Structure 1
Amino acid sequence: MPLITLQNVDYSIGGPLLLDNVELSIEPGERIALIGRNGAGKSTLLKLLSGDLHPDDGEVRLEGGVRVSRLEQEVPTDAEGSVFDVVAAGMGELGHWLAEYHHLSHAEHVDTNRLAAVQAKIEAAHGWSVDQRVTETLTRLDLDGEQAFAGLSGGMKRRVLLARALVSAPDVLLLDEPTNHLDIEAIDWLEGFLKAWPGALVFITHDRRFLRALATRIVEIDRGQVTSWPGDWANYERRREERLNAEAQENARFDKLLAQEEVWIRQGIKARRVRDEGRVRRLKAMRNERAQRREQQGNVRMEVAQGEASGKKVIEARDVSFDYAGKPMIKRLDLTIMRGDRIGLIGPNGSGKTTLIKVLLGELAPTSGEVRQGTNLRVAYFDQYRATLREDWNALENVAEGQDFVEVNGKRKHAIGYLQDFLFTPERARAPITRLSGGERNRLLLAKLFAQSSNLLVMDEPTNDLDVETLELLEELLGEYEGTLLLVSHDRDFLDNVVTSTLVMEGDGRIGEYVGGYSDWLRQAATVPGRPTVAQAKVASTARGNAAHGQDATASSAAAATSSTNAVPGSGAVPAKRKLSYKDARELEQLPVRIEQLEAELESLTAQMNDPTFYQRDAAAITAHTNKLGETQQALDTAYARWAELDG
């Protein structure tokens, strides 16, 4: 029995229908990934499911007693008080009584009359079990109910809001970009939590690894139409490409026929006297059908303004340390960044990634040691807080700054045309920036950034709110960038696809250097005794938590005016590798392909087990599948161990 059913649902915000005749049902235990281009209507659909919006036509039907909770994309401005207050607010008026009772009972001077009155209200509503549920939810999510919500980092605020969504024990949980502002350790935790959560889940995310790990079904919104696909991401991409190719061929056939009919209708006077009126009516119908066709939204056309090449050595740090409030943020760092390096920065929120950027760029003086910058550096900086965008300007003014044209790689483009490359219509380009969505703001910041001539590019969390198509194009663009790149990101796939080396904040000021991306770091760190994991680094950074977080926030806005870099491990002795026999060398060459095949097989087996219908099979089939999963995992572990042995 479906928990929620949408029947013939239409919704519009002006212009073509945002959602057109939608049919969708959500079953118990499903984990549905909702995907589509920025502005396609994903957040709108979540609001329709939660009842915060009502359709223009059609019906959204909830089965009797079904509870729905929604985690918004942005932290609400009206959330205030303690963590306990914010979480309890998820229970409505009863939650407010519980929060008041909590404050009164912990006050230094207790107002006994008011306490008794509130207690009576809670008892009348049978609310003490709810109070226990709030406490259990806080414990489950490792939250301190006494902390002030306003003083938390962005990632911790998201965790509190998740607790507020969960406290009502919903049957359906709606999550809008839940990984935004979370560090990698928090994303890993959230993945594990949601896998074990028994209710139905509908979520929007730009994090492809997060999507693949959770989704049992993919629902796509494209030009108002909603289609459903099995949960395997690779299968979805293949089948979607086939559908789009078939659509393009059918449109081309239709347009050719229409063109032939238009030629016919324009024939001479003699032909018009004997014209087939049925054919005329068909032509009118074809014209109307062509007018109603909704073309697929185009892809962003991005191009980075390449500056004159910098010196070969971009930045050199020698024995650099930096302390903040008596705590080490950077400890004895030796690093050489060469032209063309592409380095990712990984670490918990508040661990000092932005501080490191400021020290390398000379915005902060090191406590000890020396930082030398190379010659002819031209820096461009992508700020995750979007502080470089002026709120009192529209999109056009933010990019062109009063000019009619922008120049990219020697080519002059009209500012409106340039913004159209980033999917801004002329009307949208002139709209107040306050009306732009999170994805549009990110695209605008990319447009502003890429119009600047640079040879040193710093990008701090550029992937938030971008749709998958734009994300993949950005990956390709950064791969072709001829300058130096320093990338701060918690998107594991993005790091794997873009960077060639990684700097990891390992706690207590230690910065580890690794070849490759996120997955390469995991593999290498596992073979080095004493190297902390991200979770351990997060524990180490908690000792200086708020101080470091405040320093990072200050660093990001100060660096916004002029920052960018890319790094590669350039220091530290590399142990000599033993010479391999021909057989071992051949095996090492083939292992990556073997590992990729095993990972794909493991992912497929896991996806099948995540399907709600899996356990409807007979016991023998379930046992065989489980055994196959265990054998594949063991083979993958063996392959990784062999790779580490041969490549060591």
Structure 2
Amino acid sequence: MQRQAFSSALRRHGQPKPFSGAPKPANSGRTPQPLHIATAVATKRGEVLLIADTLGKSHDGEKQLFQGLTFSVVAGDKLAVVGPNGSGKSTLLKVLAGLDDFDAGSISRNKGARVGFLPQEPPLPAGVSVLQAVLQSDSDMARAVQEYQNALATANGAVTKELEVAIEKMNTFNAWEIDAEAKRVLEAVGITDLSACVDNLSGGQRKRVALAAALLGKPDLLVLDEPTNHMDVSMIRWMERELRGEDLAVVLVTHDRYFMEGVCDRLLELDGGKAYVHNFGGVNSYGMFKEAREFRRKAQANAAADARTLFRREAEWMAKQPKARQAKSMARQQKFYELSDRAKDVPTADLKVDFGTAPGAMARQGNKVIRCEKVCYTIPGSERQVIRDFTYDFVPGSKLGIVGRNGAGKTTLLDLIAGLRQPSAGRREVGETSVVGYLTQSPPAVREDLRIIDYIREISDSRKAKIAAAGGVLEVMDTPEVLLEKLGFLRPRQFQKVSSLSGGERRRLHLASVLVERPNVLILDEPTNDLDLSTVEVLEEQVKQFRGVLLTVSHDRAFMDNVAERLLVLEGDGLVRLFDGNYSEYLEIMDERDEAEKAAAGGACSTTGSAASVSSMGSVDSASDDEAANGTGKKGKGGKGGKQQPAAAAAAPAPAPAAAAPKKARKLGYYEQEEYKKLTKEIDDLSAKRDKLNDKVMALAQSGDDLEALEKASVEMAAVQETIDTKSERWLELAEVAGDI
């Protein structure tokens, strides 16, 4: 674009107020290493990098993804883009990165600004080394080298105009040093084997390589699509620290609320094709955004309801009095069509899925669920033992999170528990009534030409046939159509083909295929990947209320904090240890452990891996062998966590820390804070209801005229009192954690 046009756009829109910063999380002290990517070379803080003016984009020329988007990005900005699946978040990122076109509006770009882009699923070239993958990437620096090589090849020794332009680009991006720069960023993101073939990399390693490519040449604007997917917590926390630099501008899409709060200072919400900008940043800022969104949606719903009432009146007038209509002013006719649009402007509806909190939502579960005894797993063709002597008895109501660095064996452990892998040694016993539902990290292959509803019907019919063949009785349950509706697939959408689904919609379809089996053992491997934040919240709330056994692996710390009552920790040596607490508490203790070890070593910093000192868990409260043998180990928040057996998950006692720090008091998580606020009002309302019922009971008892009404009121009052007692007990628990009592 021309500098004149950019200056004109800048005068129209101005510059947003810079953000002062968000609370910085504790440093884990582990690799990846500091990179200092925030030192922008082309721009400085406050300089405008990009202006979007009334931007619009449709899908296949039909479905309007967004319209009228107007915003700017300046150096130092940290902007999060949120919205439901299918709202155009990923498309908008590609448009901003210059990788996709738009249908309406304009984008003004700072000509000298460098842009780095990290896609949700990195398309790394096949059959090349890690280093070559970065050198062949689509970064500004790599493109400059490719253009220079092409110009050099066609110049035949002459100094052509193309070669001069290519050399100027090489100088602009300092691309003469691309090899050294590529090695620098790869080392910074924790990739040490630069000759490794990308075909053999795990999902997390591929994401790191793609991130290194995006960071190549120190971009001024970094565009990130779900950067935390497939990453372990050490890498996620590293990104938080690096992305908060003063001069670096970031535009990202993420479902990780903690990551978003730790990095971003503004939030661009896409909802119903429209955009809303919110100030953001810091602890509980996502909660404040939710409150603002709820307030807006209620106002929208009320306005739409009023518009529908007026629209009906105007429609009757338009239909019944054509002659009068001709005589009326054009203004009233225009108002009619405006009312039609306003009546349709209803807020986005939330999902209402039920995992197992309502009758018929899950199969009946007996006392015996799944028991693993001295389970071991060795990778075929090698001597590496990923899982060693794992013994655990899963009981109804258990809610366990599984944590560990990338490659520690988390998914392998889930596969063993689910029965998808056979142990190299030991045994797995499953109760007769146990029905395992496994949401794997990668969804199963589905025929692209199959209709969505037909896919779920096939699974449902197969389940019914198995039950009938075994002489069982089919329970009352949701039909495939109703289940899909609860997961956001409206009836017209259900009859479309699988090929039309977005990444998030495919994840929801995979979830539907699991839930239609009515599992009472729910195993979730990275369940939040590809889901929008609203869906993650619904998933989280339903998992919390699930009455069966839950096991989950997730890099989403907020999700883990809110659903897992205890943790199984994989340390990379094959052993699995039990931690009695949530994910944030575990990370806090590990940070304290690292600091103690560094202090004992004279300040030396560990750089041997993201979980270098995890095996020295010291302060972690693992159940002792005696507790495990007697089933008396400590239990998590719900008092349920499984009975640990001899030689169990905590079979290897952790050595004492070099300088163990006292465990800090636990703080309320976001959802606990919300629950705490609501409980006070709920208890007050229920108490008022109880008092009214009590007055009614006393009056009926004195009159003695209606014994049936007296009995009914007494039963209702007793039920209300029981609810008050339950909520009061929970309120006391939260108040104690909050330090209010």
Question: What TM bracket, shorter-length normalisation?
Answer: 0.7 to 0.9
The residue aligned with 2:54 is: 8
Equivalences for residues 11-160 of structure 1 within 5 A: 11-13=57-59, 14-76=61-123, 78=125, 80-89=127-136, 90=139, 91-96=141-146, 127-143=175-191, 144-160=193-209
Paired with 1:455 and 1:534, the residues of 2 have a C-alpha distance of 42
Report the Cα offset of residue 461 of structure 1.
Answer: 1.1
- The DSSP-based 3-state class of the residue aligned with 1:3 is strand
What letter corresponds to residue 351 of structure 2 in structure 1?
V
- The DSSP-based 3-state class of the residue aligned with 1:32 is strand
Structure 1 230/50 Cα, relative in aligned 2: closer, same or farther at 3 Å? same
The residue aligned with 1:210 is: 259
Residue-by-residue CA offset, 1:554-610 (whole Å, 9 max, x unaligned):
xxxxxxxxxxxx9646347999xxxxxxxxxxxxxx96568989x99xxxxxxxxxx
Pairing partner for 1:570 from 627, 644, 665: 644
**Contact 2:418/2:438 (<8 A) preserved:** no
Paired with 1:378 and 1:466, the residues of 2 have a C-alpha distance of 25
- The DSSP-based 3-state class of the residue aligned with 2:209 is helix
Paired with 2:510 and 2:96, the residues of 1 have a C-alpha distance of 31
The residue aligned with 1:322 is: 377
Report the Cα offset of residue 93 of structure 1.
Answer: 4.7
What letter corresponds to residue 295 of structure 1 in structure 2?
V
The residue aligned with 1:637 is: none
**Contact 1:67/1:171 (<8 A) preserved:** yes
Equivalences for residues 588-607 of structure 1 within 5 A: none
Paired with 1:56 and 1:388, the residues of 2 have a C-alpha distance of 33
Paired with 2:132 and 2:528, the residues of 1 have a C-alpha distance of 32
Residue-by-residue CA offset, 1:357-396 (whole Å, 9 max, x unaligned):
3333444444444433333211111111102544563423
**Contact 1:389/1:445 (<8 A) preserved:** no
**Contact 1:83/1:146 (<8 A) preserved:** yes
Residue-by-residue CA offset, 1:248-282 (whole Å, 9 max, x unaligned):
22222222233344456677x8xx88789447852
Report the Cα offset of residue 283 of structure 1.
Answer: 5.4
Structure 1 348/98 Cα, relative in aligned 2: closer, same or farther at 3 Å? farther
User: Is 2:314 aligned against 1:240?
Assistant: no
Paired with 1:515 and 1:170, the residues of 2 have a C-alpha distance of 42
User: Is 2:489 aligned against 1:419?
Assistant: no
The residue aligned with 1:105 is: none
What letter corresponds to residue 267 of structure 2 in structure 1?
I
Pairing partner for 2:563 from 487, 495, 498: 498
Greater shift in the superposed pair: 275-284 or 48-57 = 275-284
Report the Cα offset of residue 521 of structure 1.
Answer: 2.6
Report the Cα offset of residue 195 of structure 1.
Answer: 2.3
Report the Cα offset of residue 512 of structure 1.
Answer: 1.3
Report the Cα offset of residue 141 of structure 1.
Answer: 2.4
The residue aligned with 1:452 is: 517
The residue aligned with 2:401 is: 344
Report the Cα offset of residue 440 of structure 1.
Answer: 0.7
Structure 1 227/308 Cα, relative in aligned 2: closer, same or farther at 3 Å? closer
Greater shift in the superposed pair: 85-94 or 341-350 = 85-94
Paired with 1:326 and 1:300, the residues of 2 have a C-alpha distance of 47
The residue aligned with 2:363 is: 308
What letter corresponds to residue 150 of structure 1 in structure 2?
D
Structure 1 394/275 Cα, relative in aligned 2: closer, same or farther at 3 Å? closer
**Contact 1:475/1:498 (<8 A) preserved:** yes
Unaligned runs of 5+ in 1: 101-119, 543-565, 576-589, 601-641, 644-648
The residue aligned with 2:586 is: 521
**Contact 2:463/2:517 (<8 A) preserved:** no
Paired with 2:195 and 2:530, the residues of 1 have a C-alpha distance of 31
The residue aligned with 1:628 is: none
The residue aligned with 1:410 is: 476
Equivalences for residues 602-617 of structure 1 within 5 A: none
- The DSSP-based 3-state class of the residue aligned with 1:313 is coil
**Contact 2:268/2:278 (<8 A) preserved:** yes
What letter corresponds to residue 99 of structure 2 in structure 1?
D
Paired with 1:20 and 1:595, the residues of 2 have a C-alpha distance of 36
Paired with 2:313 and 2:165, the residues of 1 have a C-alpha distance of 76
The residue aligned with 2:453 is: 396
- The DSSP-based 3-state class of the residue aligned with 2:116 is strand
**Contact 1:351/1:505 (<8 A) preserved:** yes
- The DSSP-based 3-state class of the residue aligned with 2:369 is strand
**Contact 1:7/1:59 (<8 A) preserved:** yes
Report the Cα offset of residue 453 of structure 1.
Answer: 2.1
The residue aligned with 1:555 is: none
Equivalences for residues 368-387 of structure 1 within 5 A: 368-387=425-444
User: Is 2:311 aligned against 1:258?
Assistant: yes
Report the Cα offset of residue 508 of structure 1.
Answer: 0.6
Structure 1 287/476 Cα, relative in aligned 2: closer, same or farther at 3 Å? same
Percentage of identical aligned residues: 30
The residue aligned with 2:153 is: none
The residue aligned with 1:624 is: none
CA RMSD of aligned residues (A): 4.1
Paired with 2:221 and 2:475, the residues of 1 have a C-alpha distance of 50
What letter corresponds to residue 117 of structure 2 in structure 1?
R
Give the TM-score taking structure 1 as reference length.
Answer: 0.74
Structure 1 137/538 Cα, relative in aligned 2: closer, same or farther at 3 Å? same
What letter corresponds to residue 487 of structure 2 in structure 1?
F
What letter corresponds to residue 288 of structure 2 in structure 1?
N
The residue aligned with 1:479 is: 544
Greater shift in the superposed pair: 566-575 or 324-333 = 566-575
Structure 1 320/132 Cα, relative in aligned 2: closer, same or farther at 3 Å? closer
**Contact 1:173/1:199 (<8 A) preserved:** yes
**Contact 1:501/1:569 (<8 A) preserved:** no
Report the Cα offset of residue 466 of structure 1.
Answer: 0.7
Paired with 1:282 and 1:122, the residues of 2 have a C-alpha distance of 61
The residue aligned with 1:282 is: 332
Report the Cα offset of residue 525 of structure 1.
Answer: 5.5
**Contact 1:31/1:200 (<8 A) preserved:** yes
Paired with 2:597 and 2:497, the residues of 1 have a C-alpha distance of 49
Residue-by-residue CA offset, 1:300-354 (whole Å, 9 max, x unaligned):
2313363432221322233433333222322233322101211111112221122
Paired with 2:588 and 2:486, the residues of 1 have a C-alpha distance of 39
Report the Cα offset of residue 27 of structure 1.
Answer: 1.0
Paired with 2:390 and 2:597, the residues of 1 have a C-alpha distance of 16
Report the Cα offset of residue 541 of structure 1.
Answer: 10
- The DSSP-based 3-state class of the residue aligned with 1:359 is helix
Structure 1 133/341 Cα, relative in aligned 2: closer, same or farther at 3 Å? same
**Contact 2:417/2:428 (<8 A) preserved:** yes
Report the Cα offset of residue 480 of structure 1.
Answer: 2.1
**Contact 1:335/1:570 (<8 A) preserved:** yes
Greater shift in the superposed pair: 249-258 or 206-215 = 249-258
**Contact 1:405/1:412 (<8 A) preserved:** no
Equivalences for residues 458-473 of structure 1 within 5 A: 458-473=523-538
Give the TM-score taking structure 2 as reference length.
Answer: 0.65
